[in-house]
Structure 1
Amino acid sequence: MNRDTRLYLAWLVALAATLGSLYFSEIRHFNPCPLCWAQRIFMYPLAVILGIAAFVGDHGVRRYVLPLAALGLGFAIFQNLETWGFVQSIKACTVNAAAACNTPWPVWGTSQDTLNRALTIPVLSMIAFALILALLSWPRQRVTVPESAAVQG
């Protein structure tokens, strides 16, 4: 897969995540918790920046978007660890009961469906950030000078 394709796919992931979060909050009326808001802060600009970079072929955009994606992934991992019971709930998530971090929103049908317990909104966010990081983590391309050019120069 070439760099242009990876950049374009990373943009599609960021765009889908952004539109998905807007769908859940604005259409399905799910109240985002503070950790969800933090992840949105990092995902929303990625949709715009990666979109522009994909259309102009700017591979140098990685230096700007990788830190955003890494920070977003950090928040997503923390939220999942909290949801899975590995870390205590932070106080910010208990202020508003309607937007508690551990609220099991029925994303896929009813809240009791197995898919809802496996693919929660925090898991989807974590997958999106991880995909963006993976797609944009191509190795640096070394510029090689042919021996004949090096000898002549």
Structure 2
Amino acid sequence: MSTTPHSPAWTPLLLAWLLALLATLGALFIGEVMGQAPCVLCWFQRIFMFPLALILAVACYRADFAVWHYALPLSVIGGLIALGHSLLYFDIIPQRIQPCSASGPSCTDANMTILGLPLPLLALATFALITILLLIVRRRTLQ
């Protein structure tokens, strides 16, 4: 299979990078410009999203379609954290504590939404889309 931008895996790789970049810039905007400190679970999600923006950028630049080998685990683990955070946020997983640390910032405020959607749900959707796109890259490169 060709490893040029004309490869059928090029578009999903580029879209995965753009999603990771948008999520990273959005998190930085919310934290640094809006002054909203992330909760503990949001920090863990950022730990997995921020490297994806860099790794996928390098993969796009180098047309490295084998990136799914090391980007997919980051996306899946980040997605699992976001899933747990979303389940806590919507009280599906009952706990005596709030979804975010009682002593620190909370994602349950109305300020912690974008377009009316809570940040944990947006993170889950982003990780899920990146995972799907990386699986498409994998499928198209293994054919």
TM-score, normalised by the number of residues in structure 2 = 0.84
SS of the residue 2:94 aligns to: coil
State the match for 1:141 in structure 2. 142
- Residue deviations 1:128-152, cap 9 Å, x none? 101100111022524xxxxxxxxxx
Q: How does 1:63-82 map to 2 (within 5 A)?
A: 63-82=69-88
Aligned partner of 2:100 among 93, 103, 120:
93
| 1:42 equivalenced with 2:34 (yes/no) | no
Gaps in structure 1 of 5+ consecutive residues: 109-114, 143-153
Query: How many pairs does the alignment contain?
Result: 133
Deviation at 1:95, TM superposition (A): 3.9
CA contact (8 A) 2:85 2:99 kept: no
| TM-score after normalising by structure 1 | 0.79
**Alpha carbons 2:107, 2:119 under 8 Å: kept:** no
1:17-28 alignment, distance < 5 Å: 17-28=23-34
Is contact 2:39–2:101 with CA below 8 Å preserved after alignment? no
Task: Report if aligned partners of 2:20, 2:53 keep a CA contact under 8 Å in 1.
Answer: yes
Q: Which gives a bigger RCO, structure 1 or 2 (Cα 8 Å, sep 6+)?
A: 2
Give the counterpart letter for 2:89 in structure 1.
Answer: T
Give unpaired runs (5+ residues) of structure 2. 1-6
Where 1:137 maps in the other structure, the secondary structure is helix
